[in-house]
């Protein structure tokens, strides 16, 4: 049954496999299906650090001695051509509406963080999920459930996943990254138009080759997939995010890199090139028609 969950998860990506679906397909009780789902999530959580190490080493090899122009207003499109874009962003996966707070305002938090907590008068409990996303264009992605957007919370996560030589692209919510990542660039999503006929600037999403659309695109995929669950309690959110990261990264690296003997043979400096699935011959990955290629 465990192999069935793995196989179905791989061929159905980016759709997720729910416990209800497992219960119907395997003709077992919902409690048994939930336990099977949880065991698969624990297995996926054990594999994510291996993919994280592979990603870290590949980025370090790709961007060794790499420097972006010191002038932040200079176009870097040609400089980043054939290079993997690495983007970081946060998104709210499940939020607490004012209706959930019985119409009360949320004064103790600001920004996205405020939408995942109930009103202080109702106890201020976290009932939503805030996700930190680290994504490589046409490459791996890592999701982490966080409680806030403070530098002391997000900083260690980013530094753990990405070498300091990595060109890192974000919105303007990460001004403190400049002191750590010398190739950090940000785009202003709130840029105003100089033309009085319009409110927002045309280049507020991408300017001079700088954008964080890789993370934004993964947010869309994540939210669409997790709509199948309806709701996830915050204390279990990391298990679900690890499962989704594992399936995504298995499509990038393959599965044989998880075996000790294959770690050195399935990853090259071109792992994040224009060919998103540039793994070595023999890697287990998803084929074009939904079949496993071995």
Which among 184, 137, 139 is positioned nearest to 158, based on CA atoms? 184
Do 130 and 90 contact (CB within 8 A), yes or no? Answer: yes
Q: Percent of the chain at pLDDT above 90?
A: 61
**If you average pLDDT over residues 282-293, what whole number do you get?**
36
Give the best-scoring range by mean pLDDT among 21-25, 120-124, 252-256: 21-25
Beta bridge partners of 5: none
Q: What is the pLDDT of residue 68?
A: 92
Look at residue 288 and tell me whether its pLDDT is greater than 50.
Answer: no
Bigger pLDDT: 281 vs 79: 79
Residue given tokens 């949320």 in the structure block: 106
Q: What is the pLDDT of residue 108?
A: 56
Cis bond upstream, residue 14 (ω within 30) = yes
Residue 96, Cβ density class (10 Å: 0-12 exposed, 13-18 middle, ≥19 buried): buried
Look at residue 31 and tell me whether its pLDDT is greater than 90.
Answer: yes
CA distances from 157 to 137, 146, 149, 262, 268 (A): 19, 10, 11, 27, 24
| CA gap 175, 31 in Å, rounded | 46
103 — pLDDT class (breaks 50, 70, 90) = low
Helix and strand element counts for the chain (H, E)? 6, 7
| CA gap 182, 205 in Å, rounded | 22
**Whole-number mean pLDDT of the chain?**
84
Sorted by sequence, the CB contacts under 8 Å of residue 281 that are 6+ apart come out as none
Q: What is the pLDDT of residue 125?
A: 83
Look at residue 281 and tell me whether its pLDDT is greater than 80.
Answer: no
225 — pLDDT class (breaks 50, 70, 90) = very high
Sorted by sequence, the CB contacts under 8 Å of residue 3 that are 6+ apart come out as none
Bigger pLDDT: 268 vs 138: 138
**If you average pLDDT over residues 275-287, what whole number do you get?**
40
Find the length of the chain.
Answer: 294
Radius of gyration of the chain (CA): 20
Look at residue 294 and tell me whether its pLDDT is greater than 50.
Answer: no
Look at residue 50 and tell me whether its pLDDT is greater than 80.
Answer: yes
274 — pLDDT class (breaks 50, 70, 90) = very low
Residue given tokens 């074009």 in the structure block: 288
Residue 251, Cβ density class (10 Å: 0-12 exposed, 13-18 middle, ≥19 buried): middle
């Amino acid at each position: 049954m465990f192999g069935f969950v793995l196989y179905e998860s791989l061929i159905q990506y980016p759709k997720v496999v729910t416990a209800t679906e497992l219960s119907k397909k395997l003709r077992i009780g919902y409690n048994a299906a939930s336990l099977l789902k949880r065991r698969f999530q624990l297995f996926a959580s054990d594999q994510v650090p291996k993919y994280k190490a592979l990603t870290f080493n590949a980025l370090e090899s790709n961007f060794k001695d790499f420097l972006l122009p010191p002038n932040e207003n200079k176009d870097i499109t040609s400089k980043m051509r054939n290079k993997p874009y690495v983007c970081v962003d946060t998104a709210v996966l499940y939020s607490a509406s004012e209706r959930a707070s019985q119409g009360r305002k949320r004064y103790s938090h600001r920004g996205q963080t405020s939408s995942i907590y109930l009103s202080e008068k109702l106890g201020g409990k976290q009932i939503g999920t805030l996700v930190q996303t680290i994504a490589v264009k046409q490459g791996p992605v890592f999701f982490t459930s966080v409680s806030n957007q403070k530098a002391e919370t997000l900083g260690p996560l980013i530094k753990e996943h990405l070498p300091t030589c990595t060109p890192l692209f974000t919105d303007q919510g990460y001004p403190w990254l400049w002191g750590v990542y010398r190739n950090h660039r940000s785009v202003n999503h709130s840029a105003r138009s100089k033309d009085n006929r319009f409110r927002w600037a045309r280049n507020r999403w991408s300017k001079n080759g700088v954008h964080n659309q890789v993370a934004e695109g993964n947010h869309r995929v994540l939210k669409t997939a997790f709509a199948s669950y309806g709701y996830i309690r915050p204390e279990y959110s990391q298990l679900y995010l690890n499962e989704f990261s594992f399936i995504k990264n298995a499509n990038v690296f393959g599965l044989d890199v998880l075996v000790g003997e294959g770690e050195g043979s399935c990853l090259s400096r071109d792992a994040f090139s224009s060919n998103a699935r540039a793994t070595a011959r023999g890697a287990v990955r998803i084929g074009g028609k939904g079949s496993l290629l071995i």
